[in-house]
Structure 1
Amino acid sequence: MAKWCNFCMCILWLGGVAPLWAQEKKPVIAFVSDTQAPLLVEHVIRKLHHNTRATELIFRDIINTRPSSLFILGDVVSLGYQNSKWHKMDAYLQACKQNHIPVYALLGNHELMLDARKGAAQFQSRFPAHNPAGYVEVIDSVAVVLLNSNFSKMPDSVIKKQDNWYIDTMHHLDQDKAVKWVIVGCHHSPYTNSKVVAPSVLVRQKFVPPFVNSKKGILFLSGHSHNFEHFNQQGKDFLVIGGGGGPHQPLSRKGITPDISASYKPMFHYLEVERYHDSVKVVSRQLKNDFSGFTDGLIFYAHHF
């Protein structure tokens, strides 16, 4: 009962009792991935670190900082088809709504696990703007292109539809004078040194080339690997931001792909992106090890070439 009361109090706070200094929106876009609670089996095979509490604190910090919008890059919950797995997330999403923070999301593998049809329906009911064959949102001259990387769960017709839409969209955004930068996001990472999940060859084949060839493409974001990883490929920045609360995954010490941020490995984190002159300022908000709050753990600037 005490735990439930504490949770309810947290949600009441999240839902609109934010401090006065947090009432105006910041001109930033927030990104988080892999906010799912650990599965029962993961309590046995993984070392856990108060994961659901970390997710709660991430949403609290996001609501306090009041970004212009929030994007969740998949694995929002542990089992998408089970309504009970959505209870806490529904409270967080409602708190965002009450604080006028639009939330967009894309499908991860956990949304489609065990019962893909029902899981997709549960997801769609919460994120009605989502399109399983890709969609785009433009926030303050930054276009965020969201793609479905669950290829094994997609009919060939939907894969082809998304391929064509993505190529056309990237070309259109390059020509659109109202768009200054393009960020591409999907769930499965094209590059990762995780020992638990492999990099996606299909993402690398289908999604990376149009991004690399885009004049305005500036960041490629993904999750699935529960880590922070930073790669530079063909002059473009690729970030893995899977620190939303899922069980931490060990990384290969050898590092198949060179990681620019090899010394920065927060367990829980989310991302802020903000326009900054002729670049975008990228900030990784890191949860402190003692869970006492957040700090700007890493800052870098992404530029056009």
Structure 2
Amino acid sequence: MYTTKQTFLLLLTFIIIYSCAENKKFVQYSDEVSETNNDSTIIIIGDTQQTSFWEFWRESNSDFTPVILKKIAEENPAMILHLGDVVFNGASTNHWNEFNEFAAPIFTKQIPIYPVLGNHEYFGDNEEALQNYFYHFPSASNRQWYYKIYKSICFIFLNSNFSEMTRNEIYDQNDWLDLTVSELNGNEKIEHIIFISHAPPFTNSKVVDDEIFVQNYFASVFNDSEKAVLFLSGHSHSYEHFIKENKHYLVSGGGGGPRHELETDSKRNDYHFDFFSGGPMRNLHYCKLIIHEHNLEIEMIQLEKETGEWSSGDCFYIP
């Protein structure tokens, strides 16, 4: 028999464990385009992870990420491309629950989300983190790299977390990419190829650097394909627009992670000329890709935190 004191301690322990336990409220986002959605519009967003409690000195945008996701739902796009870092800790149920609350308008409308793995998707226990990721996004088909064909566009989703991959996985992805792009180049139904990786090949961020492996493994294949016209990435919590070898590179990490200051000194050897002159600290935002008959339109939609006003920040066309 337990004494009164032992019973009390057992009960107290149970209460503490129960209160600290993460309550699963997982949802699965759609992987099918609905006929009720705007079939010519695709939304691009990256880095919706929130500032962690031990990053107390960094900017927190927890009040603004729900606003951004609600605005995206109002666009009623055919699909959403998420550029990675959906949550801060991929293994944390609470962090996924928080994202699900923020993204409720998207889930309610059954707007499909096609994601790419970010580095935060690996935070915590890798096995549990990846289980959370793939459960939420059946569109990824339990694959770390995959492609999605929509109309005449092929979106190629690539894993840039090389430190989390085995050597064989890196080789397999590279071989798959070479073969896939070669087949797409010969497919008359495909007019445009868009590459997507979380880590950017190029960035002026003062927090993260150019990813050399992305340059060597992905950008080299991208540059060699005439159909490849746009390279999307996040990781840098900002907006950047580069053109290299007549191809567009877009960094869009404005979904709510603490923003990064950009290097603006064009005299630095590692500076990349940015076609968007937005200053060193740029607004939270998402991007909209509109499929026209003869071209693609890409527009950056930015949120002014102080006023809550939305405006068009950048816009360009790809033939």
Q: TM-score range by the shorter chain?
A: 0.7 to 0.9
Between the aligned partners of 1:33 and 1:291, the Cα distance in structure 2 is: 22
Q: Is the 8 A contact 1:133 1:161 kept in 2?
A: no
Matched, 1:148 2:159: yes
Aligned residue in 1 for 2:111: 101
Between the aligned partners of 1:27 and 1:239, the Cα distance in structure 2 is: 20
Between the aligned partners of 1:294 and 1:88, the Cα distance in structure 2 is: 24
The aligned runs of 1:234-245 (5 Å cut-off) are: 234-245=245-256
Between the aligned partners of 2:82 and 2:102, the Cα distance in structure 1 is: 12
Q: Is the 8 A contact 1:77 1:89 kept in 2?
A: yes
Aligned residue in 2 for 1:223: 234
Matched, 1:25 2:38: yes
Aligned residue in 2 for 1:81: 91
Aligned residue in 2 for 1:192: 203
Q: Is the 8 A contact 2:70 2:105 kept in 1?
A: no
Between the aligned partners of 2:37 and 2:248, the Cα distance in structure 1 is: 30
Secondary structure, counterpart of 1:43 in structure 2: coil
Q: Give the drift of 1:207.
A: 0.3
The aligned runs of 1:52-201 (5 Å cut-off) are: 52-130=62-140, 131-201=142-212
Q: Is the 8 A contact 2:37 2:78 kept in 1?
A: no
State the aligned residue count.
279
Matched, 1:213 2:224: yes
Between the aligned partners of 2:161 and 2:37, the Cα distance in structure 1 is: 37
Aligned residue in 2 for 1:20: none
My pick for the range that moved more, 97-106 or 128-137, is 128-137
Q: Give the drift of 1:291.
A: 4.8
1:71 maps to a residue whose letter is L
Q: Give the drift of 1:140.
A: 2.3
Q: Give the drift of 1:93.
A: 4.7
Q: Give the drift of 1:142.
A: 1.5
Q: Residue by residue, what CA displacement relative to the aligned partner does 1:247-268 show, whole Å, maximum 9, x if unpaired?
A: 0111112241111113366320
Between the aligned partners of 2:274 and 2:46, the Cα distance in structure 1 is: 19
Given the alignment, which residue of 296, 299, 303 partners 2:315? 299
Matched, 1:258 2:268: no
2:47 maps to a residue whose letter is D
Between the aligned partners of 1:191 and 1:278, the Cα distance in structure 2 is: 28
Q: Give the drift of 1:85.
A: 0.6
2:124 maps to a residue whose letter is L
Q: Is the 8 A contact 2:160 2:197 kept in 1?
A: yes
Between the aligned partners of 1:35 and 1:141, the Cα distance in structure 2 is: 28
1:195 maps to a residue whose letter is K
My pick for the range that moved more, 235-244 or 128-137, is 128-137
Aligned residue in 2 for 1:34: 47
Matched, 1:275 2:291: yes
**Which residues of structure 2 form unaligned runs of 5+?**
1-35
My pick for the range that moved more, 286-295 or 144-153, is 286-295
Aligned residue in 2 for 1:14: none
Query: Residue 127 and residue 81 in structure 1: after superposition, are their counterparts in 2 closer, same or farther (change >3 A)?
Result: same
Between the aligned partners of 1:121 and 1:180, the Cα distance in structure 2 is: 34
Query: Residue 245 and residue 269 in structure 1: after superposition, are their counterparts in 2 closer, same or farther (change >3 A)?
Result: same
- Could you list the runs of 4 or more consecutive aligned residues of structure 1 that deviate by over 4 angstroms after TM superposition? none
TM-score w.r.t. the length of structure 1 is 0.86
Q: Give the drift of 1:91.
A: 3.1
Q: Give the drift of 1:197.
A: 0.6
Between the aligned partners of 2:83 and 2:76, the Cα distance in structure 1 is: 19
TM-score w.r.t. the length of structure 2 is 0.83
